[in-house]
Amino acid sequence: MPSDRVDPHLFVIVGGTGDLTRRKLLPALHRLGAQGLLDGNYAILGVSRDTELDDDRFREWARDGLETGGAHLRSWCDDRLYHIGVRGDEASYRALAARIAEIEQRHELPGNRVIYLALPPAAFPGTITALGGAKLNRSDGWTRLVIEKPFGRDLASAQKLNAVAHQYFDERQLYRIDHYLGKETVQNLLVFRFANAMFESLWNRDRVANVQISVAENLGVEDRAGYYDRVGALRDMVQNHLTQLLSLIGMEVPVSYDAEAVRYEKVKLLRSIAPVEPHDVVFGQYTEGNINGAPVVGYRHEPDVPNDTNTETFVALRLQIDTWRWQGVPFYIRTGKRMESRLTQIAVTFRQPPVCLFDSLGGCPMNPNVLILTIQPDEGFALCIDVKTPGEPFALQTLPLRFQYREAFGDIPDAYQTLLLDVLNGDQTLFVHADEAEAAWRLYTPLLERSADVHPYAAGTWGPTLADDLITRDGYRWYGPIRVSA
Ligand code: BG6
């Protein structure tokens, strides 16, 4: 989007002294400002429960968290950052409204506002109601509300959250963030599919044998046990990030590249996924093991994790999409913490040729063509094809045709930077619609409601062995990291 479309605005962050604000939001806003993409006229207001924190100390705290230092950073913080402590009662939200008006007057801002809820999910409904009560859902300009995932913890709570949000805000004002959609490599999935006719013509049950999506992390729960143990991998990763990848890989061609058309196709895809059978789900929890040669503790021994918890840190699923395009093509997805390596990768395995021409030569098995789309960390793709090795005896070898992002383009922008700029430009294409969030919960809520075993896996592995059985019983296997760099 061109920079001249960013209107002068006030960016209000509720949860303004939290980790997300410091690690992601302020750095992204600072970079956007430094790159001249914000048009100069804007201010940022951090809202927190800390009623003792004044503007100066908030600026100092923000400065410490930003990587780039120097005089420019100091003046950026001093000129634009403000803070207000809000206790949560009606009076303090009225005080918030007054502070907003005062800052807007000082900066001569026309009343365009982003209100970003950088809060734990349980705080969303109450905060939205309080904002509405203080009439902060409308202004003289535009008002956009940003909500971080997870959007609810099951279908009922997602519907309730959407209902509260819609009581005060129109869907056009709501920006539900799933930061995976801001990743360049994720956005590229649509370009890859719909700007390159050769792939789209192969993208169906006649040519594709199976699709697998892995989002593996080698980090553990870190210091987020308070959140994570109540949530688990299905809610934290599958319902949102992995489902977004699945939607972009599986959806039909939208009529245009805009929010309405893209989100419509994603919802359609989600609605066509068959209910997941119990034997198509594997839950796991990591036990002690080794990551990069260093010993790490099991999940139950992580700080603040109850030692008898059954929260899953790993999920593998086999999904069936009942459409003309995908009927009979299994989609396998898996995600886990403390896995062997950090890897977000989509593998599209194509069907084998109907007849193996080289069988008669003996010892010459052909491998299926596999398209590997690496979302991170080695961003790019590899198309694995069989080639003849030179000389005798006649033999085949599978080799990748590769493309690597960094080689072609250098550094890739951070997802939050992309998404915040889209919020400011009023572009909802990369945000989750209410219907989409509910469609995903409709699929996964039954899995949360039935009790399932949680299988142990050693940290530093690729998850419980049952997750291998889930795919090997169909005659396939999980792909580990396939390098896109030479
Ligand atoms: C977050 C999850 O949404 O995504 C975390 O809450 C997870 O548990 C993170 O670690 C992964 O994001 P990324 O961008 O590092 O793949």
Alpha-carbon separation of residue 403 from 89, 370, 407, 409 (angstroms): 54, 14, 8, 11
How many Å lie between the centroid of ligand 1 and the Cα of residue 411? 20
For the cut 70, the answer to whether the pLDDT of residue 79 exceeds it is yes
* Under 8 Å between Cβ of 284 and 314: yes
Q: What angle do CA 329, 330, 332 make, to 5 degrees?
A: 145
* pLDDT tens column, 355-393: 888 877 765 677 899 999 999 999 999 999 999 999 988
The response to whether residue 178 sits with its C-beta less than 6 Å from ligand 1 reads: no
* Cβ neighbours of 339 (radius 10 Å): 27
How many Å lie between the centroid of ligand 1 and the Cα of residue 74? 30
How many Å lie between the centroid of ligand 1 and the Cα of residue 452? 24
Q: What pLDDT shows up at residue 413?
A: 87
Which among 180, 183, 217 is the best mutation to test ligand 1's pocket, defined by most ligand atoms within 8 Å of the CB?
A: 217
* Cβ neighbours of 108 (radius 10 Å): 8
Which uninterrupted H or E stretch holds 310?
A: none
How many Å lie between the centroid of ligand 1 and the Cα of residue 179? 8
Alpha-carbon separation of residue 338 from 214, 285, 311, 429, 449 (angstroms): 13, 9, 14, 32, 25
What integer best gives the mean pLDDT of the chain?
Answer: 93
Q: What pLDDT shows up at residue 4?
A: 55
* pLDDT tens column, 227-279: 999 999 999 999 999 999 999 999 999 999 999 999 999 999 999 999 999 99
HEC assignment per residue over 5-48:
HCCCEEEEEECCCCHHHHHHHHHHHHHHHHCCCCCCCEEEEEEE
Q: What pLDDT shows up at residue 483?
A: 76
Q: Which of 58-62, 320-324, 353-357, 478-482 has the lowest mean pLDDT?
A: 353-357
Q: How confident is the model at residue 423 (pLDDT cuts 50, 70, 90)?
A: very high
The response to whether residue 217 sits with its C-beta less than 6 Å from ligand 1 reads: yes
- The secondary structure of residue 379, as a DSSP letter, is -
Classified as helix, coil or strand, 383 is strand
Which among 148, 221, 237, 419 is the best mutation to test ligand 1's pocket, defined by most ligand atoms within 8 Å of the CB?
A: 237
Ligand 1, atom 4, residue with closest C-alpha? 237
* pLDDT tens column, 323-334: 999 999 999 999
Please, which contacts does 184-189 make with residues 24 or more away whose CB atoms are closer than 8 Å? 184/379, 184/405, 184/412, 184/413, 184/418, 185/373, 185/374, 185/375, 185/376, 185/379, 185/380, 185/405, 185/412, 186/244, 186/245, 186/248, 186/375, 187/418, 187/430, 189/245, 189/248, 189/249, 189/346, 189/373
The response to whether residue 414 sits with its C-beta less than 6 Å from ligand 1 reads: no
Q: How confident is the model at residue 2 (pLDDT cuts 50, 70, 90)?
A: very low
Tokens describing residue 5: 């479309």
Q: What is the average per-residue pLDDT within 58-72?
A: 79
* pLDDT tens column, 178-192: 999 999 999 999 999
How many Å lie between the centroid of ligand 1 and the Cα of residue 390? 44
For the cut 90, the answer to whether the pLDDT of residue 135 exceeds it is yes
Q: How confident is the model at residue 3 (pLDDT cuts 50, 70, 90)?
A: very low
Q: What is the average per-residue pLDDT within 57-72?
A: 80
Q: What pLDDT shows up at residue 255?
A: 96
DSSP codes, 150-182: P--SSHHHHHHHHHHHHHHS-GGGEEEE-GGGG
Ligand 1, atom 14, residue with closest C-alpha? 180
Q: How confident is the model at residue 203 (pLDDT cuts 50, 70, 90)?
A: very high
Q: Can 301 be counted among the known catalytic residues?
A: no
Find, among 351, 294, 354, 360, the residue nearest to 328 by Cα. 351
Ligand 1, atom 10, residue with closest C-alpha? 217
Q: What pLDDT shows up at residue 313?
A: 98
The response to whether residue 236 sits with its C-beta less than 6 Å from ligand 1 reads: yes
Q: What is the average per-residue pLDDT within 281-310?
A: 97
Active-site residue among 30, 83, 179, 241? 241
Classified as helix, coil or strand, 224 is coil
For the cut 90, the answer to whether the pLDDT of residue 71 exceeds it is no
